[in-house]
Amino acid sequence: MNRKVIERASLVPSPRIPSDFADRYVAAGYWTEETFQHFLGRRAETFSDSIAVVDGDTRLSYREVSDRADRFAAGLAERGLRPGDRVVVQLPNIAEYVVVIFGIFRLGAVPVFALPAHRRTEMNQFVDAADACAYVIADIGGGFDYRTLAREVVAASDRPPLVIVIGDPEEFVAFDDVAFDDVASEAVDVPDVAADSVAFLQLSGGTTGAPKLIPRTHADYLYSVRGSADICECDKNTRILVVLPAAHNFPMSSPGILGVLHAGGTVVMAPDPTPSTAFEIIERERITMVSLVPPLVLAWMNAPSRHAHDLSSLQVLQAGGAKFSSEAARRVRTELGCTLQQVFGMAEGLVNYTRLDDPEDVIVTTQGRPISPDDEIRVVDDNGDEVSPGSTGHLLTRGPYTIRGYYNAPEHNATAFTPDGFYRTGDIVRVVEGGYIIVEGRAKDQINRGGEKVAAEEVENHLLAHESVVDAAVVSQPDQYMGERTCAFVITHGTRPSKIALKKFVRERGLASYKVPDSIVFVDEFPVTGVGKISKNALRRALEKTLVD
Ligand code: OOB
């Protein structure tokens, strides 16, 4: 058994919500003493034999998931993990995902949520930025061998994390050995964590070259979980299908896995997002709710196989992560026979929902309104002045579950937040009657590829690493199916590489494949603005006029 002493640095203190606000949030009952450390244990007392998680033929009751999580926590403690330690989790949608994250919470350790699509470069960045002691993967997922990736991560790190593998561990530590050690679960003898301490680090969609980690506290996140479960009317009969990657904020907590477990319902993991897989599970498991990004809603509505399955159990279909067009939104009720709920949220905090009993027009034309009466919404012009009611502007927000700063990023925080603590979302919105928000566009330098966020600067930096590339500018291009796709304008010198070679170059730098530019346009110069900056607006306009492969 690997009992090496783990070197660790402590969690860097995160910018906190000031105490006058914190006091208000406690007084209003938003922030409670509840933490994720005891969340599952408490639910297991109430819902003991009800089924909490389904994954294929595996069906785990609340009691079983809680016991397994406790055992995993004890096994982690045996291997030297301590409260506050960071554990990077990169798992597909499998039952063990829930066991792993609640095992980490039980120990008072801090999960860092990576997506299955992330590769060497991103994983190295997360392990480094979080100073992680451990890294949990599955052996193979979606045909990809994560042990190969883990080998690269270990090789590149000054302080290699302990790698724990679900499935065949090869040279790493087997999850089963950790979770089913002879260690009694009472061995998790750790102090209770404070409700206002950091529970986990979530990933930001990002606008810069380096990824940002989002520190969410037990109190703030659990408030958003309870609020989401209430708004979405979750109860013990709710059966949610998890189609999007479980670690993303939307399927995790809006109301997602955590909201449904809060309410005593059942979480059903989908092994892949294809309509045929999903329809079969919906029919078999009598699924009541599902969360999708807009391209998947379109794929589901257009799939002929939907007529071959009984989807009548489905009550609510949530669409979020990217703008859902009102034309497509109007088709949901008639074509899929359920209520649409639009969800406009962000891992940094604020989440908006259309309510289930809203008039159809509100449901199809708006992106909802905030969870909390204390979510503060400001819409401002380029100078930071509030626009007149109903006008379009930049969305700023502050509230009981929105962060006041990223993890260990003081410089970035100085511009990402206003001096009085509002988060600059980078979204262009207008607020209509009843406080409903309509997303009109985006000011941040990010491409929203069907819900997957691509920071332009990150991709530009990778392109610039190519010896023939002199300059690069990545912009969005409208796409019928994805909403947007990425297009890289590139200036080269010397021998010009082929487009395919350049894409391959980016991919081989170890990036998630959704960040590889969809198309590349070679140019001799970039259009510039009056002050001499690259005009991305002009590049986007140029794309509207030309056909790009
Ligand atoms: C969700 O979270 P993130 O952190 O991946 O991305 C947040 C950004 C928002 O700032 C906005 O630009 C965009 O994604 N977005 C939407 C949207 N939902 C998110 N843009 C237009 N319409 C929508 N409905 O994407 C996320 C987190 C929690 C719940 C749902 C989505």
**Tokens 């992560």 identify what position?**
321
What number is the average pLDDT over the span 6-24?
91
Q: How far is the CA of 368 from the centre of ligand 1 (A)?
A: 12
Element (H, E) at 282: helix 275-285
Share of the chain above pLDDT 70, in %: 97
Any atom of ligand 1 within 6 Å of the Cβ of 442: yes
**Does the pLDDT at position 546 exceed 80?**
no
Of the pLDDT bands very low, low, confident and very high (cuts 50, 70, 90), residue 525 is: very high
Distance between CA 313 and CA 304 in Å, rounded?
A: 18
Per-residue pLDDT reduced to its tens digit, 219-246: 999 999 999 999 999 999 999 999 999 9
| pLDDT for the residue 241 | 98
Q: Yes or no: say if 142 and 116 are a contact pair by the CB < 8 Å rule.
A: yes
The answer, yes or no, to whether residue 172 has pLDDT greater than 50, is yes
| Residue 313 scores a pLDDT above 50 | yes
What does pLDDT average to over the chain? 95
339-346 vs 349-353, strand pairing mode: antiparallel
The two domains 33-48+61-217 and 273-442 share their CATH topology (first three levels equal): yes
For residue 515, give the DSSP letter. Answer: G
Q: What is the pLDDT of residue 549?
A: 58
- Candidate from 201, 231, 332, 346 with most ligand 1 atoms within 8 A of CB, to mutate: 346
Q: What does the pLDDT read at residue 207?
A: 85
How many Cβ atoms sit within 10 Å of the Cβ of residue 299?
A: 16
Q: What is the pLDDT of residue 187?
A: 63
Q: Per CATH, which fold does 449-545 belong to?
A: GMP Synthetase; Chain A, domain 3 (3.30.300)
pLDDT for the residue numbered 1: 44
Which value, in Å, is the radius of gyration of the alpha carbons in the chain?
23
Question: Is the full-model pTM beyond 0.85?
Answer: yes
Q: Considering only 75-84, 204-213, 305-314, 469-478, which range has the smallest mean pLDDT?
A: 204-213
Q: Is 125 helix (H, G, I), strand (E, B) or coil?
A: helix
Label residue 258 by pLDDT band (50, 70, 90): very high
Give me the DSSP letters along 329-369: HHHHHHHH-SEEEEEEEETTEEEEE--TTS-HHHHHH---E
pLDDT tens for residues 265-275? 999 999 999 99
Cα separation, 419 vs 415, whole angstroms: 9
The model's pLDDT over 345-390, given as tens digits with 9 standing for 90+, comes to: 999 999 999 999 999 999 999 999 999 999 999 999 999 999 999 9
Q: Distance between CA 264 and CA 252 in Å, rounded?
A: 15
Token pair belonging to 18: 């000031």
Q: Note the pLDDT tens digit of each residue in 129-141.
A: 999 999 999 999 9
Q: Where are the domains of the chain?
A: 33-48+61-217, 273-442, 449-545
Average pLDDT over residues 441-452: 96
- pLDDT per residue as tens digits for the range 507-517: 999 999 999 99
In angstroms, rounded to a whole number, what is the distance separating the alpha carbons of residues 104 and 114? 15
User: What fold is seen in the domain 33-48+61-217?
Assistant: Rossmann fold (3.40.50)
Q: What CATH class does 273-442 carry? A: alpha beta
Give the Cα separation of 55 and 210 in Å (integer): 35
User: Which among 126, 134, 129, 92 has a CA at the least distance from the CA of 109?
Assistant: 134
Interval 256-262 mean pLDDT: 98
Q: What number of H helices and E strands is found in the chain?
A: 18, 27
Quote the pLDDT of residue 2.
47
The CA 258 to ligand 1 mean position distance, Å, reads: 18
pLDDT at 188 over 80: no
Nearest CA to ligand 1 atom 16: 322
Question: What's the token pair of residue 113?
Answer: 């949520």
The per-residue pLDDT for 541 is 93
249 Cβ closer than 6 Å to some ligand 1 atom = yes
Closest residue CA from atom 6 of ligand 1: 346
Q: Tell me the best of 248, 296, 344, 394 to mutate to test the pocket of ligand 1, counting ligand atoms within 8 Å of each CB and taking the most.
A: 344
